[in-house]
Amino acid sequence: MNNQALNKNLIERVAMGDLLRRRSRDSASQTAIVDFPDGERRATSYGELNNRVNQLAHGLVEKGLKQGDKLALFSSNQRDMLTVYFACYKLGVVAVPINFMQGVDDVRYNLEHSETAAIIHEAMFSDMVHACTQSNQHIKLTVQMGNSRGKSDYSLEALIEHQSCHEISDRIIDDRDTAHMIYTSGTTSRPKAVESSHVALTIAALTGAIELNINKGNRMLLVLPLFHCAALSILHPILLRGGCAVLHAVFEPNVIVNSLEQEKIETAVFIPMMWHALLATPNVEKRDFRHFKLGVYAMAAMNNQSLDKVRSIFGCVMHLGSGQTEFAPMACLFRDKSATEFSEGNYWGVPVCMVEQAIVDTQGNELANGEVGEIAWRGPQVMSGYYMNEQATEEAAKFGWHHTGDIGLIDNQGQLLFIDRIKDTIKSGGENVSSQKVEQALELLDGIERAAAFGVSHPHWGEAVCACIISATLSEVDIPHIEAHCKAQLGKFEVPKAIFICETLPVTGTGKVRKVELRAQYKDVFSALNE
């Protein structure tokens, strides 16, 4: 290897693994991670975490893992999930976090499509991993976290035992090399693998630190799964700035409330249903949240009543962060109590500091404020592309913008208003129906906990609006009442032509409804009309 080229790369590169190395030099004794294995609190310093990362990196090299290889990761939120991520970052190995809430067929697809060479997993996922790897010729190494190897080739502890803590310094990592590859949630189609570069993730981390005002020593709680880009977009800024991430593997409202208080959490990110569950926790209003400064909600909007209750009980401001896996992923921020043109709606706010935002038509022309079109972004944290899908990559990047697949407008206050997913827009009788508008109307009715609206084929209307609802109090006999409510809230063409009461909805790991599954499940509901 050319030593001059290697030295130059070590000096000037932008690589995610260097983030941890820097913090281990200047903040070695500072707590980086708090997690709770088997319910017991464990604190890990930056120095300890970096040493463990280096040991794993050396162990992976010893077992033949090469730069550019893919390593799949099955893990809940815990310290060694970060150990694996950063070992990959330092080696130039591509981390492929797997959504373990998927079925076996989807997991098998992820592993085969990504051409994964190695897998590291928690013991609880042993059977799933074993079932998905029997006929996979790409996988050369399997490792089970902990002291037992189970059905895998090695245990993690055996792999790192006696390995050096010294830094990996023998490889050139280009800024645009892929750092990790995350599969989209697949709410509207088959999941695609999003490749994010080292420089994109670094810029996203810097942007998050700036926009959320994260400083050294800040304490942030994370329960959103770290296989998802939303959680990583919060974790990376914390580590970049030398803060502390308090990790929880499972969302249990009582446990989370205790942690917010006892760990003196300053910032936390939850999806709306989690915020609502925290508000319903017994005696939550009597807890001491004096350290809690900023709450972030993601994935969906929250109504003003709920936001006011959060502000009152937790004493924090509430920002909505929005983006995509393809944009690493926070692209815009709706700051607490920002002025808007419209009193209601799912506002996504203004672009973060490294992002441009526009509404464009089908030819890529920018539209004026108030005009409805596709939401488009551009900035250096955009994905490198979809792995092994050149057509989709080109489609997403046409006309010099990243096309989100979302419909919205920018109001006269400069605030982005999200209207719907393009593929979730229902075309019924020549009219475009916003599925989100239908859902919001349904959820105004007492007793409806959650609603999902979608379109299915109809011989007369082209597509018919349908809705699935979750309710503990409503039953089939109440459907006429629900329909009457919809007629009072919506236009005639927007009222669901079929309503189904369900116990559960198919969701992704972050709570998004997989409407592709609902469309498939109910695709024949109107087929008899053709006979």
Give the pLDDT of residue 28.
Answer: 98
Question: What sign does the CA torsion over 208, 212, 216, 220 have?
Answer: negative
For residue 318, the cross-strand partners are: 295
The pLDDT confidence band at residue 491, using thresholds 50, 70 and 90, is confident
Rounded Cα distance between 273 and 279, Å, is: 10
The helix (H) or strand (E) run that includes residue 10 is helix 3-12
Query: Which two structure tokens, joined as six digits, stand for 67?
Result: 């730069």
Counts for the chain of helices (H) and strands (E), in that order: 16, 26
Read off the pLDDT of residues 78-125 as tens digits, 9 standing for 90 and up.
999 999 999 999 999 999 999 888 778 889 999 999 999 999 999 999
3-state SS class at 272: helix
In terms of pTM, does the model score above 0.75?
yes
More confident residue, 38 or 509: 38
Rounded Cα distance between 210 and 69, Å, is: 33
Q: Quick one: CA torsion of 18, 21, 22, 26, rounded to 10 degrees?
A: 180
Give the pLDDT of residue 507.
Answer: 86
Tell whether the model's pLDDT for residue 531 goes beyond 60.
Answer: no
Domain edges within the chain: 3-26+43-174, 211-421, 429-530
Q: What is the mean pLDDT of the chain?
A: 94
Fold match between domain 3-26+43-174 and domain 429-530: no
More confident residue, 14 or 302: 14
Query: Which two structure tokens, joined as six digits, stand for 147?
Result: 């002291």
Read off the pLDDT of residues 431-444 as tens digits, 9 standing for 90 and up.
778 898 899 999 99
* The CATH number of domain 3-26+43-174, selected from 3.40.50.200, 3.40.50.12780, 1.10.1240.10, 2.40.370.10: 3.40.50.12780
Read off the pLDDT of residues 367-400 as tens digits, 9 standing for 90 and up.
999 999 999 999 999 999 999 999 999 999 999 9
Query: Which two structure tokens, joined as six digits, stand for 479?
Result: 């459907």
Query: Which two structure tokens, joined as six digits, stand for 126?
Result: 């042993």
Rounded Cα distance between 486 and 501, Å, is: 15
Q: May I ask the CATH architecture of the domain 211-421?
A: 3-Layer(aba) Sandwich (3.40)
**Residue 139, CA distances (Å) to 65, 111, 144, 377 in order:** 11, 9, 14, 36
More confident residue, 493 or 377: 377
Rounded Cα distance between 372 and 60, Å, is: 50
Give the pLDDT of residue 14.
Answer: 95
Tell whether the model's pLDDT for residue 344 goes beyond 90.
Answer: no
Topology (CATH) of 429-530: GMP Synthetase; Chain A, domain 3 (3.30.300)
More confident residue, 426 or 48: 48
CB under 8 Å to 97, separation ≥6 — which residues?
Answer: 72, 73, 75, 85, 180, 182, 226, 227, 228
Rounded Cα distance between 269 and 237, Å, is: 13
Rounded Cα distance between 112 and 440, Å, is: 39
Q: Which residues of 308-340 are buried (b: 16+ CB within 10 A; e: fewer)?
A: ebbeebbebbbbbbbbbbbbbbbbbbbeeeeeb
Give the pLDDT of residue 516.
Answer: 84
Tell whether the model's pLDDT for residue 160 goes beyond 90.
Answer: yes
More confident residue, 87 or 527: 87
Read off the pLDDT of residues 316-332 as tens digits, 9 standing for 90 and up.
999 999 999 999 779 99
Closest CA to 69 of 183, 181, 201: 181
- 3-state DSSP helix/strand/coil percent for the chain, to nearest 5? 35, 25, 40
Looking at residue 366, what DSSP letter applies? B
Tell whether the model's pLDDT for residue 188 goes beyond 70.
Answer: no
Give the position of tokens 């009219």.
431
Give the pLDDT of residue 123.
Answer: 97
Give the position of tokens 């990362």.
53
Tell whether the model's pLDDT for residue 508 goes beyond 80.
Answer: no
Hey, what amino acid is at 448? I
- Determine the average pLDDT of the residues in 207-236: 95
